[in-house]
Structure 1
Amino acid sequence: MKTLKIDLVSDIACPWCAIGYARLQQALSSLPELQTELEWHAFELNPDKNAPQEPILPALSRKYGRSEDDMRAAQANMMQIAADLELNFSKMQQRFTCNTFDAHRLVKWAATHDKATAMKLALFAAYFGEAKDVSDAAILANCAEQAGLDKTEAQRILASDDFSSIVKEDIAKYQQAGISSVPAFIINNRYLISGAQEPAQLAASLQQIANEMA
């Protein structure tokens, strides 16, 4: 049985990253003959820790040069896509911008307990489903607990600099590799699949890569 190594570059604040992972799971369910090893990697859409938080719709409107009504419609479309994938995006239009560096630190810590995906999914649910501030230490610790991790240990890590260097190295590595948008799926350190592609298209790409393996 062939094994694909998938490095998934994403940010907790990116709705397409949550959608992309859900679509990946659907794609893989149609390829039972493939085994995969998934590793999450950090990317920051809002890298300035000192930037004031602001409501998402006007923030996106300014960033993309489109009206708030346009952004609201785009978000509503994503909410429907998410619902079809059984993702909770019910409060994505009520969220605020935020820096996700500490959240990425917890994902790296969770990986040492084989719970990185559970941590990531808890963060997605908190941010898009509940509009919670995923830069807040108390909320992050609660997400860790929901992911099956020790809340007290999460609080200790958040109060320290643990895993900061590995997150910084992660971000720098993929910036230098030319990754400027997420999600980005890097397969076997060789192939790049960009964006949250439809499950069938993603499955076809993964199958083609597997077929090319010796």
Structure 2
Amino acid sequence: MNTIDAAKPEDYLQIDIVSDVVCPWCVIGFKQLEQAIHQTGTPATVKWHPFELNPNMAEDGENLRDHIHRKYGLDEAASAQTRERLTALGLELGFAFNYSDDMRMVNTFRAHQLLHWAGPYGKEHPLKMALFEAYFIRHEDLNDLTVLGEIAQGVGLNPAEAQDVLSDGRFAQTVRQEEKFFTDQGIQGVPAVIFDRRHLVSGAQGVDAYVSILRQLNGHFST
């Protein structure tokens, strides 16, 4: 969990985010939310939860442009326009998307297992951010054991232990159960942001919308 602002534990606003590490709108949505948290001075704790956009993705992945065309029917021009929009939004929020024609969509089940393992060490949030950067900026394969070990090491985790966790799949069933829990609740797309374990907001809503939500939930906080 990540404490965005300092406060007594009982004053934290719990924010649960269901997302995938290869979801650009999850990056955008979180960065918007992060700005809103700082603007409102809301002491908040973020907990990430697994969702796979492509649970049946092959081990070697698929060219991202081909994947977008196959899954969403977007032609090359529409796909390029979407990437340009995401890149512009990212720059406004401090995240530099680095799209290229040779990027690949990858299987993310191992990445979610790694995040689950990182939680008790207090490294889930920095690891999530590192995975976003590894995929969208450096085009790293988030299904590769060595790559995932190196990313884990980068946030202060033991890379050998990280690879062992993924090799033996000790958290695989737990992650599958958590994924099923959220899909059973009707979540079919991400990001899905749950405030105070009660209020679900779907999609990247924008900084102003998140500011409004936070103020409604925490009327005693002020800018």
Q: 1:18 to 1:67 in 2, by over 3 A?
A: same
Q: What's the secondary structure of 2:29's corresponding residue?
A: helix
Between the aligned partners of 1:120 and 1:52, the Cα distance in structure 2 is 22
Partner residue, 2:24: 15
Paired AA for residue 63 in structure 2: P
Deviation at 1:51, TM superposition (A): 6.1
Between the aligned partners of 2:28 and 2:101, the Cα distance in structure 1 is 16
Deviation at 1:171, TM superposition (A): 0.4
Between the aligned partners of 1:134 and 1:30, the Cα distance in structure 2 is 33
47-56 vs 114-123, which deviates more? 47-56
Aligned residues of 1:72 and 1:93 also touching (Cα < 8 A): no
Deviation at 1:78, TM superposition (A): 0.2
Q: 1:164 to 1:78 in 2, by over 3 A?
A: same
Paired AA for residue 14 in structure 1: C
Between the aligned partners of 2:154 and 2:102, the Cα distance in structure 1 is 22
Q: 2:14 aligned to 5, 8, 11, which one?
A: 5
Q: What's the secondary structure of 2:58's corresponding residue?
A: coil
Partner residue, 2:33: 24
Q: 1:60 aligned to 61, 68, 91, which one?
A: 68
Between the aligned partners of 1:23 and 1:201, the Cα distance in structure 2 is 9
Where in structure 1 are there 5+ consecutive unaligned residues? none
Aligned residues of 1:57 and 1:71 also touching (Cα < 8 A): yes
Does 1:114 find its partner at 2:159?
A: no
Deviation at 1:56, TM superposition (A): 0.7
Partner residue, 2:4: none
Partner residue, 2:46: 38
Partner residue, 1:91: 99
Partner residue, 2:187: 179
Between the aligned partners of 1:151 and 1:209, the Cα distance in structure 2 is 40
Q: 2:108 aligned to 100, 122, 138, which one?
A: 100
Q: How does the TM-score come out when normalised to structure 1?
A: 0.93
Aligned residues of 2:83 and 2:99 also touching (Cα < 8 A): no
C-alpha RMSD of matched pairs (Å): 1.7
Between the aligned partners of 1:170 and 1:207, the Cα distance in structure 2 is 30
Partner residue, 2:83: 75
Deviation at 1:92, TM superposition (A): 5.6
Aligned residues of 1:91 and 1:130 also touching (Cα < 8 A): no
Between the aligned partners of 2:162 and 2:156, the Cα distance in structure 1 is 11
Deviation at 1:74, TM superposition (A): 0.4
118-127 vs 148-157, which deviates more? 148-157
Aligned residues of 1:17 and 1:183 also touching (Cα < 8 A): yes
Partner residue, 1:194: 202
Between the aligned partners of 2:12 and 2:135, the Cα distance in structure 1 is 32
Q: What's the secondary structure of 1:83's corresponding residue?
A: helix
| Number of equivalenced pairs | 211
Q: How does the TM-score come out when normalised to structure 2?
A: 0.89
Where in structure 2 are there 5+ consecutive unaligned residues? 1-6
Does 1:47 find its partner at 2:51?
A: no
